[in-house]
Amino acid sequence: MKVPVQAVTVWGKIAPSHSITAIMITDDQQTIITGSQEGQICLWDLSSELKISSKEILFGHTASVTCLAKARE
């Protein structure tokens, strides 16, 4: 059984820069994924009221993220 984990984003008074270079939405239209010039990938929750809230930010790429694609099962 999978246990849901609450994502927590921690930064100071200013969020890290995120110049979007790629964007994708999941098939269920509940998550937006963005890639950035700074090499980050961000996941965003999209509510049915079209409100967007940050979910996770992934670091590690050493170059711009210029393309996003979903993996096949």
pLDDT computed for residue 22 by the predictor? 93
Report helix, strand or coil for 26: coil
Low-confidence ranges of the chain (pLDDT < 70): 1-16
CB of 53 within 8 A of CB of 44?
yes
Half-sphere exposure of 4 (CA within 13 A, CB side): 4
pLDDT computed for residue 5 by the predictor? 54
pLDDT computed for residue 18 by the predictor? 74
This prediction's pTM = 0.72
